């Protein structure tokens, strides 16, 4: 591991690996903050799709009167799509990987960019469930790897969950906090434990809500209303599950059940049945609600 000081890092150039839902959002907030943002994907076309998504997102902000046309143009001009990962990372101050949630893929990518990026570059992973230490293992710059867990949709959600791996240095945490502030987010600092803080609590609430519907305690609508009106949650746990995707929630619950060993994370039969029936939430037209 190097003894480089990432607190010296500036955020001039941000490289986002994976230009899907999250990657595009992260590039958008970086460009909005004044950084040059590079989107890298498996092909130039895919990287451009990410840039097009940013274009559409900025257009929506413009239509709502939240930004001016000049600002939209300036932000978009700072977003670049490329398939030349090596060239992009060679000049990076911050790298955030937002490729699919597969440990081997993330580990391979972090190891590759760690060897090619400047020694002061912050190496962020947007994983929502994998261990930061496991992703960083063997990359040679474990001290600079940190979880930068953004939320969907990135331009709107205020939270950045910073996850500190076993080898993440103090300087990296400081730089991660500064990066969060730079992109306009409030950050929290969490240990590298399964589910971090957000998934562990959020998934638990969702699973209990499902068990209540399964047991006939109340309807899905009323369970959601209980949290929306009684606890001022902006969205009830079952509506949120429909939004995230029932299959996604099932996979996270299974992972947390295995890792944490608590019966509270055991997926309810209702969730398994709905997923088996292809009722995955909004994306399939039906979940706990019909769309
Ligand atoms: P996505 O499928 O929308 O995007 C992933 C992108 O990565 C795709 O464009 C894909 O082509 C690209 N990709 C695949 N292999 C690549 C490679 N080798 N190099 C570069 N790009 C590659 O996925 P997403 O929803 O944006 O999720 C990305 C990450 O963010 C995952 O780790 C996920 O767990 C995490 N996350 C997702 C959400 C969410 O709500 N979607 C929220 C927080 C965190």
Domains of the chain (ranges, CATH numbers): 13-191 (3.40.50.720), 198-284 (1.10.1040.10)
Select from 22, 87, 100 the least CA-distant residue to 54. Answer: 22
| 126 C-beta closer than 6 A to ligand 1 | yes
Measured CA to CA, the distance from residue 211 to residue 53 in angstroms comes to 37
Give percent above pLDDT 70 in the chain: 97
Distance from C-alpha of 118 to C-alpha of 11, rounded to nearest angstrom: 13
Say yes or no: CB of residue 41 within 6 Å of ligand 1.
yes
How far apart (Å, rounded) are the C-alpha atoms in residues 136 and 291? 40
Q: Ligand 1: does its nearest atom lie under 6 Å from the Cβ of 199?
A: no
The answer, yes or no, to whether residue 2 has pLDDT greater than 60, is no
Query: Does ligand 1 lie within 6 Å of residue 15's CB atom?
Result: no
pLDDT score of 55: 98
Looking at residue 3, its pLDDT comes to: 46
| Cα–ligand 1 centroid distance for 17 (angstroms) | 8
Q: What distance in Å separates the CA atoms of residue 88 and residue 94, rounded to the nearest whole number?
A: 11
Task: Give me the pLDDT at residue 9, please.
Answer: 55
pTM above 0.85, yes or no: yes
Residue 58: name the closest of 98, 35, 33, 28 by CA: 28
- What does the longest C-alpha to C-alpha distance in the chain come to? 58
CA distances from 282 to 90, 153, 239, 241, 291 (A): 40, 15, 9, 9, 6
Per-residue model confidence as pLDDT tens digits over 57-114: 999 999 999 999 999 999 999 999 998 999 999 999 999 999 998 999 999 999 999 9
Instruction: Report the chain's mean pLDDT, rounded to a whole number.
Output: 95
Read off the pLDDT band of 248 (50, 70, 90): confident
Task: Give the residue from 47, 197, 204 showing the smallest Cα distance to 128.
Answer: 197
| pLDDT tens for each residue of 111-125 | 999 999 999 999 999
Q: Looking at the predicted structure, is the pLDDT value of residue 7 above 90?
A: no
**Residue 149: per-residue pLDDT:** 98
Among candidate residues 151, 123, 102, 111, the one with its CA nearest the CA of residue 251? 102
């Amino acid at each position: 591991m190097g003894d480089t000081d990432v607190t010296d890092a500036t955020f001039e150039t941000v490289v986002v690996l994976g230009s899907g839902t999250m990657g595009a959002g992260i590039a958008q907030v970086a460009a909005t903050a004044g950084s040059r943002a590079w989107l890298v994907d498996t092909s130039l076309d895919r990287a451009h799709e990410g840039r097009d998504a940013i274009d559409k997102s900025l257009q929506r902000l413009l239509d709502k009167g939240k930004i001016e046309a000049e600002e939209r143009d300036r932000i978009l001009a700072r977003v670049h799509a490329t398939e030349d990962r090596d060239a992009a990372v060679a000049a990076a101050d911050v790298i955030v990987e937002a490729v699919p949630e597969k440990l081997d893929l993330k580990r391979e990518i972090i190891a590759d960019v760690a060897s090619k990026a400047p020694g002061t570059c912050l190496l962020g992973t947007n994983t929502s469930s994998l261990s930061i230490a496991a992703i960083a293992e063997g990359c040679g710059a474990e001290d600079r790897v940190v979880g930068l867990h953004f939320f969907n949709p990135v331009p709107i959600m205020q939270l950045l969950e910073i996850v500190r791996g076993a080898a993440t240095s103090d300087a990296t945490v400081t730089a991660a906090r500064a990066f969060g502030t730079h992109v306009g987010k409030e950050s929290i600092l969490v240990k590298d434990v399964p589910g971090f803080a957000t998934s562990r609590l959020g998934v638990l609430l969702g699973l209990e809500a499902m068990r209540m519907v399964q047991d006939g305690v109340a309807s899905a609508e009323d369970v959601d209303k209980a949290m929306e009106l009684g606890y001022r949650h902006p969205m009830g746990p079952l509506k949120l599950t429909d939004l995230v995707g029932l299959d996604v929630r099932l996979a996270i619950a299974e992972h947390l059940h295995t890792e944490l060993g608590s019966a509270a994370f055991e997926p309810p039969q209702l969730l398994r049945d709905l997923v088996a029936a292809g009722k995955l939430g909004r994306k399939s037209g039906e979940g706990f609600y019909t769309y």
